Chains A and B, each alone.
Chain A
């Protein structure tokens, strides 16, 4: 579509938030031929600024302000299959998944990218706070300029075929700067609060209600590291490694932490703070961005966490932490950085226990 000299067509994923609004504005001003799209992913209740009719309205309103076309695509079936069902299955298996990572992997950067191809858009853009960096080894995801808003962790899986056609204009800006740019243009989303947390879990009903509508909650035994039963939990599926609260009064009253969740035997192992520390975290599904890196790296294990010094086994089977640190809940994404550049990523596995 379009002649040799016509501007590239860009499909901008507009959530109805300020970041993607500014992303669209900047790309339009840079001369791209853009259209906005809001994905309808979740039909159930939501309170975290995702997929609601008012968010679609906000995105459409910004598109109108910019004078661009706006469309709505319903990827609800794909979201259910690739994000919600695995999320539920992970919890049933005693794991702690990152559904936003899976949404990016399967929906935004596969399903939407595929749709963009079919509809004749050469490029795709989002409002994520991350940068696309060209290195000697090829194109990579890097941290966004605003450390407090950096989203490279949830985009760690993006590889060259996606990155080569992706634009992340607000990754070069702080959040304050994004809001200033939105205000300067009078965009209706300029003062809209940031969305947080998992879009399909409401704060009022919570994870428990969501999961209990889809799977049975199983009670479990709570045991200490010697195997002695010290209590029970009524919903094994809601227990996370590292968790301290919600285990009831157990033992002598000193703080106890979840060290392991064994879904097969419905057992939660607890211990003191020191017992939570590990020097190795086993990995699964690890993928290096290009060649394996044997030397020291920064490794991050949660969306809002910081990277800790570590090495990753070149075969991608484990992280070796430079200093002992709290155990990583199985199911969490583990992302390795060289400086600000993502060099590999995978998922924390359950350590082989005793």
Chain B
């Protein structure tokens, strides 16, 4: 396979998927080698697999501030999000709606859209407008099946004040289930505390350093959902399919380590993230806009490791090509299946003009990021922009 160049990799796409943590790798290998049996069986090997699964469930529960019985293992964040929205709608039946924000990940946005749900505006920081939310809930008059808000936005890093949202929802839509997509949040906020008032919480392994393919929906005790996948009745009938013991063990290990290290890494990565944005601004000037801090530059609401910037006058597609050739891996908004870059619906919802959004870059830092990565990235991005300037934006 031809490589664009032999440049060493600077990986700034942790929000898309973050490298495997050694602890998660070790836990996966140990469980995969030890537990060949199906954990739903009754013989000794099955019971041992079952025990490993339960142990993983317990560790995950602890890290997420849940009881073990509230942990439903899924194939990932998209399944957990779909299960929350569709599962709530399925059980409440026709005549009920899902309510979410205009800046959600597609795994929430699309099931809500397909069900004819309601989208609440976000402000220019990308955070749900609480008054607009209150108006919607008031107007719907008790027919809301589920309210879903993203905890940390996957594109911009904007942090939702989850307890404030919960107060509004409990007050105005007491019958609705409350869900948060916390897939990006685990690295940046204390999910156990912040999501305590939520019925449903989605998380996934590959954002915290375990392999792609394992996620969790926290479904609080007593919360009923129509299952997406039915069959053998696994996960207490909430999600059929042979449980992935190694995936669960690995995910639990990654979650625990992420939670233990969080305070330190948030502090460390915030410094690097700010150095990245400030370095780009030094080189390129005020054409570098922090997407969710356009008004006053305040970054207090943005997750520590995420820098979503729009660089006016260039197209991110061309910029990313040159960055990639120089070894810097990043993305324009969220990852996209076709590979083509479409302007982000999140940036549009925040009021970023389309021509500005076409120059958006999501630079996301993570557990392997070091200071020299940021210095190199500033150099590569600036040089790439300067090259594109000579070709009027490419």
Real complex partners, A and B? yes
A residues lining the B interface (CB < 8 Å): 33, 35, 40, 43, 53, 56, 60, 67-69, 71-74, 76-77, 114-115, 117-120
What is the chain A residue whose CB lies nearest that of B5? A1
User: A114 contacts which chain B residues (CB < 8 A)?
Assistant: 391-392, 394
Tell whether B134 is near chain A: CB-to-CB under 8 Å.
no
Q: What is the minimal beta-carbon distance from A189 to any residue of chain B, in angstroms?
A: 18
User: B339 contacts which chain A residues (CB < 8 A)?
Assistant: 56, 60, 71-72
Contact of A53 among B325, B337, B341 (CB under 8 A): B337
B173-193 with Cβ < 8 A to chain A: none
User: B62 contacts which chain A residues (CB < 8 A)?
Assistant: none
User: A69 contacts which chain B residues (CB < 8 A)?
Assistant: 2, 4
**Measured between alpha carbons, how far is A33 from B5 in the docked complex, in Å?**
12
Number of B residues with CB within 8 Å of any CB on chain A: 22
User: B2 contacts which chain A residues (CB < 8 A)?
Assistant: 33, 35, 67-69
Contact of B338 among A35, A40, A115 (CB under 8 A): A40
Decide if the interface of chain A is mainly helix, strand, loop or mixed.
mixed
Tell whether B379 is near chain A: CB-to-CB under 8 Å.
no
Question: Which one of B317, B338, B342, B358 has the greatest number of beta carbons of chain A within 10 Å?
Answer: B338
Given A68-B2, A69-B4, A114-B394 in contact, is the A119-B321 Cβ separation under 8 Å?
yes
Q: Mark B255-298, 1 if CB is under 8 A from A, else 0.
A: 00000000000000000000000000000000000000000000
12 interchain pairs, CB-CB under 8 A:
A33-B2, A40-B338, A40-B340, A56-B338, A56-B339, A60-B339, A68-B2, A73-B317, A74-B341, A74-B342, A114-B391, A119-B322
Q: Are A117 and B391 in contact (CB under 8 A)?
A: yes
Q: Are B338 and A118 in contact (CB under 8 A)?
A: no
Q: Are B394 and A53 in contact (CB under 8 A)?
A: no
Given A53-B337, A68-B2, A69-B4 in contact, is the A118-B342 Cβ separation under 8 Å?
no
Q: Mark B23-45, 1 if CB is under 8 A from A, else 0.
A: 00000000000000000000000
Q: What is the minimal beta-carbon distance from A24 to any residue of chain B, in angstroms?
A: 12
What is the chain B residue whose CB lies nearest that of A53? B338
**Measured between alpha carbons, how far is A119 from B384 in the docked complex, in Å?**
9
Contact of A67 among B1, B318, B342, B391 (CB under 8 A): B1
Tell whether B106 is near chain A: CB-to-CB under 8 Å.
no
Q: Are B340 and A118 in contact (CB under 8 A)?
A: no
**Measured between alpha carbons, how far is A67 from B387 in the docked complex, in Å?**
27
Decide if the interface of chain B is mainly helix, strand, loop or mixed.
loop
Q: Are A72 and B322 in contact (CB under 8 A)?
A: no
Given A40-B340, A53-B337 in contact, is the A71-B391 Cβ separation under 8 Å?
no
**Measured between alpha carbons, how far is A120 from B391 in the docked complex, in Å?**
11
User: A117 contacts which chain B residues (CB < 8 A)?
Assistant: 391, 394
Q: Are A118 and B391 in contact (CB under 8 A)?
A: yes
Tell whether B130 is near chain A: CB-to-CB under 8 Å.
no
**Measured between alpha carbons, how far is A117 from B394 in the docked complex, in Å?**
8
Q: Mark B311-351, 1 if CB is under 8 A from A, else 0.
A: 00000011001100100000000000111111000000000
Q: What is the minimal beta-carbon distance from B295 to any residue of chain A, in angstroms?
A: 27
User: A119 contacts which chain B residues (CB < 8 A)?
Assistant: 318, 321-322, 325, 394
Question: Which one of B322, B358, B391 has the greatest number of beta carbons of chain A within 10 Å?
Answer: B391
**Measured between alpha carbons, how far is A77 from B358 in the docked complex, in Å?**
11
Q: What 9 A-B pairs are tightest by C-beta distance, nearest first?
A: A118-B394, A118-B391, A72-B339, A40-B340, A74-B340, A72-B340, A74-B341, A119-B321, A53-B338
**Measured between alpha carbons, how far is A132 from B270 in the docked complex, in Å?**
56
User: A74 contacts which chain B residues (CB < 8 A)?
Assistant: 317, 340-342
User: B387 contacts which chain A residues (CB < 8 A)?
Assistant: 118
Q: What is the minimal beta-carbon distance from B326 to any residue of chain A, in angstroms?
A: 11
**Measured between alpha carbons, how far is A35 from B325 in the docked complex, in Å?**
12
Tell whether B388 is near chain A: CB-to-CB under 8 Å.
yes
User: A120 contacts which chain B residues (CB < 8 A)?
Assistant: 325
**Measured between alpha carbons, how far is A76 from B394 in the docked complex, in Å?**
15
Taking A56-B338, A73-B317 as known contacts, 19 extra A-B pairs with beta carbons closer than 8 A to each other, sorted by chain A number, are: A35-B2, A40-B340, A53-B338, A67-B1, A71-B339, A72-B339, A72-B340, A74-B340, A74-B341, A74-B342, A76-B342, A77-B358, A114-B394, A115-B394, A117-B394, A118-B318, A118-B391, A119-B394, A120-B325
What is the chain A residue whose CB lies nearest that of B319? A118
What is the chain A residue whose CB lies nearest that of B393? A118
B359-394 with Cβ < 8 A to chain A: 387-388, 390-394
**Measured between alpha carbons, how far is A198 from B337 in the docked complex, in Å?**
25
Q: What is the minimal beta-carbon distance from A200 to any residue of chain B, in angstroms?
A: 16
**Measured between alpha carbons, how far is A71 from B316 in the docked complex, in Å?**
13
Q: What is the minimal beta-carbon distance from B362 to any residue of chain A, in angstroms?
A: 16
What is the chain A residue whose CB lies nearest that of B390? A118
**Measured between alpha carbons, how far is A53 from B388 in the docked complex, in Å?**
28
What is the chain B residue whose CB lies nearest that of A37? B321
**Measured between alpha carbons, how far is A44 from B4 in the docked complex, in Å?**
32
Given A53-B338, A56-B338 in contact, is the A71-B394 Cβ separation under 8 Å?
no
User: B341 contacts which chain A residues (CB < 8 A)?
Assistant: 74
Q: Mark B207-231, 1 if CB is under 8 A from A, else 0.
A: 0000000000000000000000000
Q: Mark B134-154, 1 if CB is under 8 A from A, else 0.
A: 000000000000000000000
